[in-house]
Each structure stands twice: as structure tokens, then as C-alpha cells.
């Protein structure tokens, strides 16, 4: 029996060495669990707000794309953080890694101040553009504005986590998100329905709970950064102001990543706006499915993160063959995860949906949509893992072009056509979702196999 199991394991992992598997697990499993906890926090938000009715679920759901638009620059910056810090760590240049991180964190602080202030002031027109209607606008604006102070701290802690992960402390991101998720769930219980003597604040309570949870997560990240055991030294006052050299290095990576994020946000914004036009009840069904999608698909983000960090470290140490092997191992694990999630979604979709709503008008289409989501899993696994490896190498422009073609053009246009002219209603956007993930998966896989990413210098 043991020889059979070892052969199966050998085939599933592509014959990867135990040392490589250990490296993948050290970064990959905390990053995967981190991503899942982020998704679970949003999932619990939706489930707990669901007790207030479909209008409240739709109001909270309408803020998702505006919130991610605010994150676009920070996520692009973190791709630069990952590429620069991992290369320096791979080259055993801890001082250079610390300096690059401090300057990136300073940029994050400045950018977050501007982004969150503008989003707070222009919340109402922003959410009207996102598709908020009369029965959801007031709650959506209230939720979004109360979320912005907390999102400022979220921007800071995810930048800290990106750097710490590349420096070898992969569990810090897991700890911060466990703290964030658990505190969010507890505070939701207290503030949404007014339990244990706390005021019943409804949708506003959910926003306050999320904001406080982000502050607590930042406190955990900052504590780890200040620890003497941390490889990144931020204790000195020197080296915080970004230099011209850093801007040049960041530009080659962040410009492509920012273009990718802009393409993603425009595409997702139009996509969400298309579904919002169907009305409050269909949008509630869509939002429940989208939250489930976020939790399941975010699992691949952890393996994409591992691929980025490992590829960056190995290229920094001039080991391109090892970098390719690390990326391929992450891809294999992504496919295994995709198959497991596909089976789980199909088999348990009904009980899962009943955690959010018992409205037959919501549950019927939502159950069918989860089958479409399940069939998208392998496409997303290929997309995210290969994109992570390319980003770790600094090859962000092709990933951006794939997103432009698929997310900004194909998904919105096809979703609108299938939803309205073709008369498929809510099913149309999810068919567009399926084709988008598979298109990006195929494009990123093809480009990764070309191997040009091995020659990029940072």
C-alpha cells in the first residue's frame, strides 16, 4: 500500500523534491488560508446582513466593486513589493530588502490617505454609478463611508504582509487575517442585531465591525514588523523617502500590475452594473453566489502568492530552472484544489445557499449558478497560479493584456448580450464569468510556457 501511495503522490506533485514541496507549503498554506479567511469575513458579513432582508444584502453587495477599485493601486504596488523584496531576499541582501519595503510602505501610506478621503467624499455618486437604486442607496452609502477609515489600515497591513511573506514570515498574513475575520464575526453579532446590550445598527453595524477588524489586523502586522526576529528592519529613520532608483524599478513592475487592476476593476464594475439592472432580488442571488465564489476562488490566490514569492527568490539567486519547477508545483496543487472545490460545490450547493436565504426566488437560480461556478474552478486555478509566477518574475504586462482582453472586453460584453438581448437573465453574466476565467487561464498558461519571464532583470 505504501509504495502505491508514494507513486500517486509522486505523480500528483510532478516528482517535485521534498525541499521544494516544503517551500511551497511554507508560503502557500498560510497564504491560502489567509485568502480564505478574507473571503469568509465577507461571506459572514453577507450571511449576517441577510437577516435584515434582500435589500440590505444588495446594499452591501453594491459596495464591493467600488471598494476593490479603491484597492487597485495598492494591490498593484504590492506586486512591486513582492517582486523587489523577494529578489533581494533571494540574493541575501536584507538591507536592500528592508529599504525597498520601507519606501513602498511610505508610498502606500500617501496613496491610501488620498484614495480613502476621495472615496469617502464622493461615496454617493460612486454608488449611484455602481447601480444603487432608491431602496438600497442610503444603506450602501452609509456602509461605504463607514468602511473607508478601516480600509486605510487594510491597505497598510496587506502591504506589510506582502513584504513579510517574501522575507520568510509567511504566517504573519495568516495571523492578521484570523484576527480580522474573528473580530469581524464577533462584532457583526454584537452590532448588526444589537446583541448582549449593544445597539442594533443594522448595515452600519456591519461596516463598523469590518473597519475595527482592519485596525486590529494592522496592529498585529505592525507588532510582528517591530519584533527583533523580523528580517526587515524598519527601526531606523533613514531610507523611508522613495528614491528615483526605486521609482524606476517599481515602474517596470507596477505599471503592468496597475493596468491589470484597472482592467479588472472596470470589467468587474461593468459586470456588477449589468446584474444590478435586473433588480434587487436577482442581484441578491448574484451577490450570495459571488461571495461563495470569492471564498472558493481566493483559495487559489494563496498558491499564486506562493508562486510569486518563490519565483522571485529563485530568480534573485539566479536559479531559473528551480523557479520554473516551483511555479509548476504550485500549478499542480491549484488543479488538485480546483477538483476538490468543484465536487464540494456541486454536492453541497443547496445546504450552502440555505445559510444565506430561504427565499425560493433567490435559491432557485443560485443553485444553478453554483454549478457554473464549479465548472470554472480549473480555469481559475490555471489563471491565478501562472499569473502569480509571472508577477514574481516582474512580467506583469502580459498578465495585464490578458485581463484587458478577457475581463474588460469579453466578460462585460458577453454578459450584457447573454443577459438582455439573448434573454438569459442572471445566467448570462455567469456564463460570461466562466468564459473569462478559462480565457485568462489558457492565455497565462501559454505565456508562462514561452519562458521569456526568466530573462527579466529588475
Query: Residues 61-110: pLDDT tens digits?
Result: 778 778 888 888 888 888 888 888 888 887 778 788 888 888 888 999 99
What's the distance, CA 195 to chain centroid? Answer: 31
Rounded Cα distance between 57 and 184, Å, is 17
Q: Is the pLDDT of residue 50 over 80?
A: no
Per-residue pLDDT tens for 350-401?
888 887 777 888 888 999 999 999 999 999 999 999 998 998 888 888 988 8
- Residue 6: pLDDT over 50: no
The pTM (predicted TM-score) of the whole model is 0.72
Distance CA 102, CA 305 (A): 20
Contact partners, residue 457, CB within 8 Å, separation at least 6: none
pLDDT tens, position by position, 106-137? 999 999 999 999 999 998 888 888 777 777 78
Tally of CB atoms within 10 A around 264: 22
Cα–Cα distance between 322 and 325 in angstroms, integer? 5
Amino acid at each position: 500500500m505504501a509504495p502505491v501511495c508514494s507513486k500517486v503522490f509522486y505523480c500528483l506533485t510532478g516528482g517535485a523534491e521534498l525541499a521544494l514541496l516544503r517551500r511551497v507549503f511554507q508560503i502557500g498554506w498560510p497564504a491560502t488560508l489567509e485568502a480564505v479567511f478574507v473571503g469568509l469575513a465577507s461571506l459572514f458579513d453577507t450571511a449576517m446582513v441577510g437577516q435584515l432582508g434582500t435589500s440590505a444584502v444588495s446594499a452591501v453587495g453594491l459596495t464591493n466593486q467600488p471598494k476593490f477599485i479603491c484597492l487597485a493601486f495598492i494591490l498593484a504596488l504590492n506586486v512591486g513589493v513582492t517582486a523587489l523584496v523577494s529578489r533581494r531576499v533571494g540574493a541575501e541582501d536584507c538591507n536592500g530588502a528592508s529599504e525597498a519595503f520601507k519606501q513602498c510602505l511610505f508610498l502606500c501610506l500617501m496613496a491610501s490617505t488620498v484614495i480613502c478621503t476621495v472615496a469617502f467624499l464622493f461615496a454617493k455618486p460612486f454608488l449611484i454609478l455602481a447601480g444603487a437604486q432608491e431602496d438600497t442607496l442610503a444603506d450602501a452609502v452609509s456602509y461605504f463611508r463607514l468602511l473607508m477609515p478601516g480600509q486605510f489600515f487594510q491597505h497598510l497591513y496587506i502591504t506589510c504582509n506582502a513584504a513579510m511573506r517574501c522575507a520568510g514570515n509567511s504566517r504573519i498574513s495568516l495571523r492578521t487575517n484570523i484576527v480580522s475575520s474573528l473580530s469581524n464575526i464577533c462584532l457583526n453579532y454584537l452590532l448588526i442585531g444589537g446583541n448582549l446590550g449593544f445597539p442594533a445598527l443594522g448595515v452600519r453595524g456591519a461596516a463598523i465591525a469590518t473597519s475595527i477588524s482592519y485596525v486590529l489586523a494592522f496592529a498585529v502586522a505592525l507588532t510582528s514588523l517591530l519584533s527583533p526576529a523580523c528580517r526587515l528592519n524598519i527601526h531606523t529613520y533613514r531610507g523611508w523617502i522613495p528614491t528615483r532608483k526605486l521609482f524606476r524599478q517599481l515602474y517596470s513592475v507596477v505599471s503592468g500590475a496597475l493596468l491589470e487592476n484597472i482592467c479588472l476593476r472596470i470589467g468587474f464594475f461593468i459586470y456588477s452594473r449589468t446584474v444590478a439592472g435586473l433588480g434587487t432580488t436577482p442581484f441578491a442571488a448574484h451577490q450570495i453566489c459571488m461571495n461563495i465564489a470569492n471564498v472558493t476562488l481566493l483559495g487559489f490566490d494563496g498558491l499564486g502568492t506562493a508562486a510569486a514569492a518563490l519565483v522571485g527568490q529563485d530568480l534573485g539567486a539566479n536559479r531559473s530552472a528551480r523557479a520554473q519547477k516551483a511555479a509548476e508545483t504550485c500549478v499542480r496543487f491549484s488543479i488538485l484544489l480546483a477538483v476538490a472545490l468543484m465536487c464540494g460545490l456541486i454536492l453541497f450547493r443547496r445546504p450552502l445557499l440555505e445559510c444565506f436565504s430561504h427565499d425560493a426566488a433567490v435559491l432557485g437560480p443560485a443553485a444553478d449558478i453554483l454549478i457554473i461556478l464549479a465548472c470554472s474552478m480549473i480555469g481559475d486555478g490555471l489563471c491565478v497560479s501562472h499569473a502569480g509566477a509571472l508577477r514574481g518574475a516582474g512580467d506583469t504586462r502580459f498578465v495585464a493584456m490578458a485581463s484587458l482582453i478577457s475581463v474588460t472586453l469579453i466578460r462585460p460584453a458577453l454578459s450584457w448580450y447573454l443577459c438582455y438581448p439573448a434573454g438569459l437573465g442572471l445566467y448570462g453574466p455567469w456564463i460570461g464569468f466562466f468564459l473569462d476565467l478559462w480565457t485568462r487561464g489558457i492565455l497565462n498558461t501559454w505565456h508562462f510556457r514561452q519562458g521569456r519571464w526568466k530573462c527579466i532583470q529588475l
